[in-house]
Amino acid sequence: MRSGRERWVGRSTSATCYCRSTGGKGYAQEAVGAVLRWLPGVVPDETVVATTQSANAASLRLLGKLGFAEVERFEEFGAEQVCASPNCLGES
């Protein structure tokens, strides 16, 4: 089985980074939510996935609020990663 990262090679990707001073104010949820609402009109057949370190509790909470569910865990960059996809896709 390919690692989580290898599975998505050749796909469109995006990365996010947030300042600690803005944490907990809903900015990340608002920004990522807007992208998720916009994306289907631009690339309707793309599968949306998110990857973060399993130790990143804030990112995992954000993904949960946005309707993502864990698809798999894998080791990369010397740490356990979580790959998640929106619940509406019916993936588990």
pLDDT by residue (tens digit) across 3-17?
Answer: 555 665 556 666 777
At 37, which CATH number?
3.40.630.30
Count up the domains in the chain and report the number.
Answer: 1
Whether 58 maps to a domain, the answer reads yes
What is the model's pTM?
0.76
Whether 11 maps to a domain, the answer reads no
Whether 55 maps to a domain, the answer reads yes
Where residue 91 falls among pLDDT bands split at 50, 70, 90? very low
Whether 5 maps to a domain, the answer reads no
The predicted-structure confidence for 17-74, as pLDDT tens digits, reads as follows 777 888 888 898 999 999 999 988 988 888 888 899 999 999 999 999 999 999 999 9
In 3D space, the residue among 12, 82, 77, 75 whose CA is nearest the CA of residue 47 turns out to be: 12
Report helix, strand or coil for 92.
coil
- Domain containing 38 equals 21-89
Whether 28 maps to a domain, the answer reads yes
Whether 13 maps to a domain, the answer reads no
Q: Strand pairing partners for 76?
A: 79
The per-residue DSSP string of 21-63 comes to GGTTSSHHHHHHHHHHHHHHHHSTTPPP-EEEETT-HHHHHHH
Residue pair 66/32 in contact (Cβ under 8 Å)? The answer is yes
Whether 1 maps to a domain, the answer reads no
Tell me, what's the pLDDT at 89? 47
Whether 66 maps to a domain, the answer reads yes
